Amino acid sequence: MTNPLLTDSELPLFSQIKAEHVEPAIEQLLTEARAAVEQCLMENKTYRWENLIEPLEQVEDKINKAWSPVSHMNSVVNNDELRDAYNACLPKLSAYSTEMGQHKGLFKAYESIAASDTYAQLDTAQKKVIQNALRSFRLSGVDLDEEKQARYKEISLELSQLSSKYEENLLDATNDWHKLLAKKSDLAGLPDSALQQAKQTAEMEGKKGWMLTLQFPSYIAVMTYADDRQLRADMYKAFSTRASELGAKPEWDNSEIMEKTIALRHEKAQLLGFNNYAELSLATKMADSPKQVTDFLEELAEKSLPQAQQDLAELTEFAKQQHGIAKIHPWDVGYYSEKMRQYAYDLSQEEVKQYFPAPKVLSGLFSVVEKLYGLNITAVEGIDCWHEDVHFFQIKDKSGELRGKFYIDLYARPKKRGGAWMDDCVGRKKIAGEIQIPVAYLTCNFTPPAGDDPALLTHDEVLTLFHEFGHGLQHMLTKVDHLGVSGINGVEWDAVELPSQFMENWCWEKEALVLISGHYKTGDVLPDELFDKMLAAKNFQAGMLMVRQLEFSLFDFQMHQNYTPEQGAKIYEVLADIREKVSVMIPPAFNRFAHSFSHIFAGGYAAGYYSYKWAEVLSSDAYSLFEEKGIFDKATGEAFLTHILETGGSEDAMDLFVKFRGREPNIDALLRHTGIAA
């Protein structure tokens, strides 16, 4: 039987991949990889790029190209068999990764290249690959004694398994909850699109009535529009206690996983000679020290908190005056904020949605990047995908050269992980003059189309789409020919959000809105009057939004920085302490936010969630140059393409930013864009 994960196909053969293919493929590739490493080390006395790094890059690429579709399918079409196969491979991949990271012979071979006469002849990207590799060896414990190396290996394996289990528990807890309502009147306040979606969900389950779920489009519709306060409170409680000891099933409780995860990260950091995991996290980031990070976050909090307090006071007064509500609870915030937005700005999110049908937004997004960078994006039919909702596109530059390809999967559904993300399917590399074209996955969880109408996106969803596409552009437009630093590889984690947050700015520009908006029935562009209202409301509750992000960032960082084995992670104590300092709306005691904080417990943001704000300073400051020169200024677009998107991780992020902007970043543009005075 041919294994689709071992065929040398340009793109994954999704329809052929079965759970039983996964383990044999990964085992075979890891065996081949180990043999290739030993062969390279035995055959050569003098190590060079061509006889060591290039062949090993080929081996790593084969593993990545087999594991990438498996990992992706586990996130977007999850089932028990695939989950078991995925989890069976995690220890094998973790063991291999640690083994390579602690391989003294391989480490010495890299060191010998770095010290050789040929090193000076390597290009910037190749030197960066070697520098990063030497750092990775040290961060994998290559210098530790055998006993400590063995412990490091155990920790790495357990952390990868805990991360996977955390995500599974959250997915299962989210999918498990639903509420069937027999009367339409129980859903008073919900717009037609949300009602239609709830009806469609019930029908898919063979039920009559309207079914609500904890999938984000369903949840957010209730929290924003449902007049029934008790319904909002019930859904809020269900959503905020997912995968916790207060949730539906004890086997989905993430409490122990979280405690163990923080403890193991701390132990790993100390094994490597760091005081805590926050210090270890910063070893691969732009920020120099934990103090620099906390100072940065606390400065932002100090400047934002008065605005946030004012935002909440105004909302509370509005709810009291207009609706007779004595006290606002967290499940009231979205609802009364929407009412207040309509009252203060005569702006309804539902009205705005009519002008953003998904197909128009997507084609408009392509037009924006065409004007910015001279790109041409076209659909490609007949590509093997994992679901009927998925579409495939290719990108050519102005000279007609093929630069990248991508899958796009826009809509929420059961068995699909929540949130939005870009991931690497195939990375760019150049071997023997042949370029491997990069391929990306772009995944969102928008409300799917209902009936014959297209999916209509909120303006926030439009921002999300532009955000993920920004990540995709950095992955696909890279001109770096070495996998280790092409695309987003090797980019400091606190700079990786720069291209994504940067792209969001065009969603607020009239010249761009002409391209991305068109009423789903008439095709009319978003009217000036409505756009003016959106602009007026752009920074509505910006202070509250800012302190919420700062709460998450400080919680994440300080939990990792201040951990002690004697006291444990003190997860909710740390969170309560942070909220006391920077929050304006304190959630109820039952809220278990951290139990679903995937970014830090199952993603790459541990002691790094601050990166969103850090990179937002970079992206706001970068965009301010377009504000000066013109939002479609060709020279400025060309400069951003050259210095940021095409250069990947081949140079330090700060050096690249300075090349583009002519100076180091400052915080002023961010405070101006968010309406918070400097």
**In terms of domains, do 293 and 207 share one?**
no
Residue 629 near residue 316, CB atoms below 8 Å: no
Tell me the C-alpha distance between 69 and 9, whole Å: 12
Task: Please indicate, yes or no, whether residues 573 and 475 belong to a single structural domain of this protein.
Answer: no
**Residue 18 has which token pair?**
């079965």
Per-residue model confidence as pLDDT tens digits over 299-323: 999 999 999 999 999 999 999 999 9
Per DSSP, 632 falls in state T
Mean pLDDT of 500-521: 97
Are 94 and 222 in a shared domain? no
Q: Is the pLDDT of residue 327 over 80?
A: yes
The answer to whether position 71 is within a domain reads: yes
Q: What is the mean pLDDT of residues 91-120?
A: 97
Residue 274's CATH number: 1.10.1370.10
Average pLDDT value over all residues in the chain: 97
Q: How far apart are CA 604 and CA 618, in angstroms?
A: 20
- Report the distance separating Cα 373 and Cα 637, nearest Å: 6
Identify which of 438, 409, 444, 445 has the alpha carbon closest to the alpha carbon of residue 424.
438
CA 279 to chain CA mean position, Å: 22
Please tell me whether residues 313 and 365 are part of one structural domain: no
Among 240, 238, 214, 212, which residue's Cα sits nearest to residue 226? 212
Same domain, 362 and 489: yes
What CA–CA distance (Å, rounded) separates 63 from 22?
11
Q: Are residues 504 and 379 in the same domain?
A: yes
- 277 shares a domain with 210: no
Cα separation, 560 vs 575, in Å, equals 12
pLDDT band at 676 (very low <50, low <70, confident <90, very high): confident
Is the per-residue pLDDT at 76 higher than 70? yes
147 touches 107 (CB < 8 A)? no
**For residue 330, what are its two tokens?**
């967290």
Residues β-bridged to residue 434 = 431
**Structure tokens that stand for 26 in this block:** 């990964």
Q: Cβ distance 422 to 404 under 8 Å?
A: no
Q: Is the pLDDT of residue 450 over 90?
A: no
Determine the structural domain holding residue 93 and report its residue range: 14-101+103-139
Cα–Cα distance for residue pair 623/82, rounded to 1 Å: 42
What pLDDT does residue 312 have?
98
What is the average per-residue pLDDT within 639-651?
97
The residue-averaged pLDDT of 276-302 equals 97
Q: How far apart are the first and last CA of the chain?
A: 65
147 domain residue, yes or no:
no
The 8-class DSSP code of residue 642 comes to: I
d(CA 356, CA 461): 9
Same domain, 519 and 550: no
DSSP structure string for 558-627: HHHHS-BTTTB--HHHHHHHHHHHH-SSPPPTT--GGGG-HHHHTSS-TTTTTHHHHHHHHHHHHHHHHH
Coil, helix or strand at residue 440: strand
SS3 45: coil
Amino acid letter for position 376: N
Task: Judge contact between 310 and 420, C-beta under 8 A.
Answer: no
Q: What is the pLDDT of residue 677?
A: 64
Q: Assess if residue 8 is contained within a domain.
A: no
The last residue of one of the domains, among 566, 583, 609, is 609
Shared domain check, 387 and 495: yes
> CA-CA distance, 636 to 206, in Å (whole number)?
54
Residue pair 242/232 in contact (Cβ under 8 Å)? The answer is: no
Is 220 inside a domain boundary? Answer: yes
Residue 1 has pLDDT above 80, yes or no: no
Do 501 and 624 share a structural domain? Answer: yes
| DSSP result, 476-529 | HS----SGGGSTTTT--GGGTTHHHHHHHGGGG-HHHHHHH---TTT-PPPPHH
Q: How many domains does the chain contain in total?
A: 4
Buried b (16+ CB within 10 A) or exposed e, 572-605: bebbeebbeebbbbebeeebbbbbbbbbbbbbeb
User: Would residue 449 count as lying in a domain?
Assistant: yes
Going by C-alpha positions, the residue among 59, 11, 123, 41 that lies closest to residue 485 is 123
Which residue's entry shows tokens 């004012």?
A: 310
> Is the pLDDT score of 678 beyond 50?
no
Name which of 392, 361, 365, 389 is nearest 378 in CA terms. Answer: 392
Bridge partner residues of 441 (DSSP): 407, 423
Q: Where do the H-state alpha helices sit in 226-254?
A: 229-240
Which residues participate in catalysis according to the annotation?
A: 468
Token pair for 379: 């659909």
Q: Over the Cα atoms of the chain, what is R_g? A: 25
Strands 439-446, 402-411: pairing kind: parallel
- Percent of the chain beyond pLDDT 70? 100
Q: How far apart are CA 403 and CA 426, in angstroms?
A: 12
pLDDT at site 432: 87
Helix then strand count (H, E) for the chain reads 26, 9
Cα separation, 76 vs 439, whole angstroms: 17
Distance CA 330, CA 232 (A): 10
**To which residue do tokens 């994954």 refer?**
12
DSSP 363-403: HHHHHHHHHHH--EEEE--S---SSTT-EEEEEE-TT--EE
CB distance 166 to 601 below 8 Å: yes
Q: Report whether 515 contacts 368 (CB < 8 A).
A: yes
Confidence (pLDDT) at 665: 95
HEC letters along 128-169: HHHHHHHHHHHHCCCCCCHHHHHHHHHHHHHHHHHHHHHHHH
Q: Which residue, of 189, 217, 251, is where some domain finishes?
A: 251
Domain boundary among 251, 281, 308: 251
CA dist 582 and 554 (Å) reads 9
As a whole number of angstroms, the distance between CA 500 and CA 620 comes to: 11
Instruction: Report the alpha-carbon distance of residue 17 to residue 85 in Å, rounded.
Output: 12
Q: Mean pLDDT throughout 267-291?
A: 98
Question: Does residue 645 contact residue 469 with C-beta atoms inside 8 Å?
Answer: no
SS3 state of residue 272: coil
- At 153, list the tokens: 């290996």
Share of the chain above pLDDT 90, in %: 97
The verdict on residue 237 lying in a domain is yes
Q: Are residues 455 and 386 in the same domain?
A: yes
Residue at 447 is within a domain: yes
Do 306 and 328 share a domain, yes or no? Answer: yes
Q: Which of 204, 208, 210, 98 is nearest to 158 (CA)?
A: 98
Whether 120 is in a domain gets the answer yes
